[in-house]
Structure 1
Amino acid sequence: MSADYDRLFHSPDAARTADESDRETPPAGRDTVAPPGGAPNGDATPPPMPAARAQAMQAPPSWQTEVMSPITGLQPPNQPAAQRVPDNGMMRAPQAPPVGARHEQQRSAPPPAPRPAPAPPPSQFYGEPTDQRQPTAPTSAAAMGNHRAIDALSHVGVRSAVKMPSQRGWRHWLYVMTRINLGLSADELYELDLHARIRRNARDSYHIGVFGLKGGVGKTAVTVALGSALASIRGDRILAIDADPDGGNLADRAGRQSAATITDLLSDKELNRYNDIRAYTSMNASNLEVLSSDEYSAARREFNDEDWREATEIVSRYYNLVLADCGAGLFQPGARGVLSTVSGLVIVASASIDGARQAAITMDWLRQNGYQDLLGRSCVVINHVTPGKPNIDVEDLVQQFERHVPAGRVIVLPWDKHIAAGTEIQLSLLGKTFNRKIVELAAALSDDFDRLERR
């Protein structure tokens, strides 16, 4: 007992304090061997441990080695290759038991905070569920181009909540008596489509010529009826010019209001406004304006190509559409001047074998004289100028003419007693069938308003 007391208080190690002994004590959980300078219980220093035994203590037991997975990287580096477990991708490595001087359990590190999931890309459509959103590739400005989003809405169909009531027929009377609205009939929908085609915008001033090689086929009547239909439906300024050098009567059929002629217009050098032009024209009930030619008995010369070009250069600044009522010949100077500026053509023929032959000659002449493109923008009118059944198969004639002009551009006009009277033509007095055919003719010519070809 005294020996132990002396060794405890008189040995050089007795000068060390208890705190210094604690500092030298290895921390818990470290796989280290106690240093030879002291023991945790203050006993004598143990003898050094053999290297083989230290290696055996550091190596994990065999049961731990068998269940270690090579994926986790926890197999000892000195494990023989024969004892390594093959990588099957399905084994989990257990936690190694704590080793150390005090055999205290190691504190596990706190789990890392979960990273927030990336926000899903914004949906292309508002109100779409989040789980149905699909990632979209970013669109560059070059790929998008200069198209505006508001322009695309013009192609979106919109349903009206209120149906338009019918204006004629039994549907109209049913709506008037019972307020039951069945909507428009098929014929009324077709008429609305014709009006929409006629209201197309015509760039610059669009010129239309009305031709016929034979006199008495109704060129003037077709010009007045066509111009009146265009003016009443479109609502813009439309002028018809009498280009017949043989004393045309366009102003008489449209309703003469002014005694001025085209010669008076060309002699005026102070034409700066629309009202200056309006002083030389006549206007009918459909707002169609007419510029008459000189009286045949008082005319000093015939209407030529220079008169036409000069007149159209003046009126094209104030009128959207200009119609020309031409004579019976294609070799006349006035007819050549009209053909040089018009963008559309109407070939009028009577419902007879003689009138059909003259219309065929006109189409052949246009094709052989460099007006092939103009023939593609032409319409053929087969006009019944006399009552009764004609001496020609009209349906067969329509099929023959449709081989030379686009489909839907051969119009058959019935005989109308208001036209046959020879007086002023009014749309309200025309027959229902005649009026509808004139509207179809106007719609066919209006289909060319947005074409690039111009004369």
Structure 2
Amino acid sequence: MSADYDRLFHSPDAARTADDEPERETPPAAAESVTPPAMPAAAPRTQTSVAPPPWQGGVTSQMPPLPATGPQPLPNNGMMRAPQAPAPTGARHEQPRHASVPAPRPAPVPAPTQHFAEVEVDRRPVVQPAPTSAASMGNHRAIDALSHVGVRSAVKMPSQRGWRHWIYLLTRINLGLSPDELYEMDLHARIRRNARDSYQIGIFGLKGGVGKTAVTVALGSALSTIRGDRILAIDADPDGGNLADRAGRQSAATIADLLSDKELHRYNDIRAYTSMNGANLEVLSSEEYSAARREFNDEDWKTATEIVSRYYNLVLADCGAGLFQPGARGVLSTVSGLVIVASASIDGARQAAITMDWLRQNGYQDLLGRSCVVINHVVPGKPNIDVEDLVQQFERHVAPGRVVVLPWDKHIAAGTEIQLDLLGKQFRRRVVELAASLSDDFDRLERR
């Protein structure tokens, strides 16, 4: 047995042990992760010892076969050494390379796209995603983005007039709304815009008899019907206007009575001095001309609007024929929109042009940018002026689409109380277009 051990551990052809090889630097990670393989069984005694193959960049993981002296395997009595673990790979143990061929560099590891935070849990590092900051997410709410998402309705709205309406009634085939009905719905949506504060609109005209009062009643009735909120029209004509008569007088109170009342704390207190027509338009009449002690001035207008602006969303002013009057100056100092009414004649067109020039030369250029021009046919028949050419001339001074032509209407010409349902279809459509053009300025930041 001793001869076998000597030949096993001292033979130059046998496997090298850890003491016979030079010291090597073994990384601690490789030494801990590799488990030595189990001891192979002994070969038969008659088999000769074979030297291991030449080294090719690594160390064999198994010991060479041991020469056996008998058929029984050699017992492990503690004197035999366990086979060594595979040698670590590295620059020291690799095969020599040619000097001109550089060693390939390892590919760079891409940087992570998400930030991570290392948290110590039970002494083991656990990688968790770091919380995303509010600055990277933004300060926009997710529910706000849904307002811009288009939603299609599964049910079409049936037409309410025309041949599409009759087909729906007879066959129940819904062809949807007509282009004219879609256009009308768009006008109504524009009119329903939210008006900041109490939006005030003045109706002016340098020449009498052009239909300022009729336009005021029709415009206020259309706004009140479509919007559904509180709208007040004030007679600001110092020369005895008839706004209450055209809208339907219900109360004998005037603006002078309202100004003399010092106990106005609620809407019902204001409502006691106004009249309301069938379209829920309220009217505050001017003082009767024969009983008036003085002229309606700018202080009366400013005091009245300070009171009523707390209870009404829109306030319309039916002004007189002059711009130099104190009442007209007071209206121009507070209104945010303007309607210039002219008759469909050369004389009426000239007066409207003078009004626009006066506004531009007296510091009301911004108010002129929020103005509309109404060409009103006050007499039946064809006028003595080219209306289309007149519209093009006026559109050079106001925004496009803000010149409205009102046709002659029999109900307006009667001079009685104006009811919106009795107006002609074309006249009502033009009034709605006028209201939509004025409503486009409701959400503008600049005022007076």
TM-score, normalisation: structure 1: 0.74
Q: Is the 8 A contact 1:59 1:76 kept in 2?
A: no
Take 1:254 and 1:81, find their aligned partners in 2: how far apart are those partners? 107
Take 2:131 and 2:361, find their aligned partners in 1: how far apart are those partners? 57
- Superimposed CA distance per residue, residues 338-383 of structure 1 (whole angstroms, 9 cap, x where no aligned partner): 0000000000000000000000000000000000000000000000
Q: Is the 8 A contact 2:15 2:52 kept in 1?
A: no
1:98 is matched with none
Q: Secondary structure at the match of 1:451?
A: coil
CA gap of 1:73–1:380, structure 2 versus 1, over 3 A, is same
1:422 is matched with 415
CA gap of 1:308–1:180, structure 2 versus 1, over 3 A, is same
C-alpha displacement of 1:142? 1.9
Correspondence list, 1:37-436, <5 A: 60=54, 64=56, 140-436=133-429
C-alpha displacement of 1:120? 11
Amino acid paired to 1:355: G
C-alpha displacement of 1:34? 10
Unaligned runs of 5+ in 1: 1-7, 41-56, 66-71, 90-118, 122-136
C-alpha displacement of 1:87? 7.0
- Superimposed CA distance per residue, residues 399-453 of structure 1 (whole angstroms, 9 cap, x where no aligned partner): 0000000000000000000000000001100000000000000000000000011
CA gap of 1:343–1:32, structure 2 versus 1, over 3 A, is same
CA gap of 1:341–1:143, structure 2 versus 1, over 3 A, is farther
1:45 is matched with none
CA gap of 1:385–1:422, structure 2 versus 1, over 3 A, is same
Q: Is the 8 A contact 1:246 1:327 kept in 2?
A: yes
- Superimposed CA distance per residue, residues 215-266 of structure 1 (whole angstroms, 9 cap, x where no aligned partner): 0000000000000000000000000000000000000000000000000000
C-alpha displacement of 1:145? 3.2
Take 1:400 and 1:139, find their aligned partners in 2: how far apart are those partners? 60
- Superimposed CA distance per residue, residues 284-329 of structure 1 (whole angstroms, 9 cap, x where no aligned partner): 0000000000111111111000000000000000000000000000
1:114 is matched with none
- Superimposed CA distance per residue, residues 128-151 of structure 1 (whole angstroms, 9 cap, x where no aligned partner): xxxxxxxxx997422443211111
Take 1:29 and 1:263, find their aligned partners in 2: how far apart are those partners? 129
1:31 is matched with 16
Q: Secondary structure at the match of 1:452?
A: coil
CA gap of 1:324–1:25, structure 2 versus 1, over 3 A, is same
1:444 is matched with 437
Q: Is the 8 A contact 2:380 2:408 kept in 1?
A: yes
- Fraction of identical pairs, as percent: 83
Q: Is the 8 A contact 2:203 2:340 kept in 1?
A: yes
C-alpha displacement of 1:277? 0.2
Q: Secondary structure at the match of 2:233?
A: strand
Amino acid paired to 1:304: N
Q: Secondary structure at the match of 2:262?
A: coil
Take 1:33 and 1:214, find their aligned partners in 2: how far apart are those partners? 121
CA gap of 1:76–1:362, structure 2 versus 1, over 3 A, is closer
Amino acid paired to 2:229: D
Take 1:451 and 1:34, find their aligned partners in 2: how far apart are those partners? 94
Q: Secondary structure at the match of 1:390?
A: coil
CA gap of 1:80–1:290, structure 2 versus 1, over 3 A, is closer
Take 1:73 and 1:347, find their aligned partners in 2: how far apart are those partners? 94
Q: Is the 8 A contact 1:416 1:434 kept in 2?
A: yes
Q: Secondary structure at the match of 1:381?
A: strand
Structure (1 or 2) with the larger CA radius of gyration: 1
Amino acid paired to 1:453: E
CA gap of 1:86–1:269, structure 2 versus 1, over 3 A, is closer
CA gap of 1:76–1:267, structure 2 versus 1, over 3 A, is closer
- Superimposed CA distance per residue, residues 91-138 of structure 1 (whole angstroms, 9 cap, x where no aligned partner): xxxxxxxxxxxxxxxxxxxxxxxxxxxx999xxxxxxxxxxxxxxx99
- Superimposed CA distance per residue, residues 136-195 of structure 1 (whole angstroms, 9 cap, x where no aligned partner): x99742244321111111111100000000000000011011100000000000000000
Take 2:309 and 2:279, find their aligned partners in 1: how far apart are those partners? 20
Take 1:81 and 1:150, find their aligned partners in 2: how far apart are those partners? 65
Q: Is the 8 A contact 1:31 1:58 kept in 2?
A: no
Amino acid paired to 2:16: D
CA gap of 1:30–1:232, structure 2 versus 1, over 3 A, is farther
Take 2:97 and 2:134, find their aligned partners in 1: how far apart are those partners? 60
Q: Count the aligned residue pairs.
A: 364
Q: Is the 8 A contact 1:223 1:325 kept in 2?
A: yes
Take 2:14 and 2:328, find their aligned partners in 1: how far apart are those partners? 115
CA gap of 1:198–1:32, structure 2 versus 1, over 3 A, is same
C-alpha displacement of 1:31? 2.0
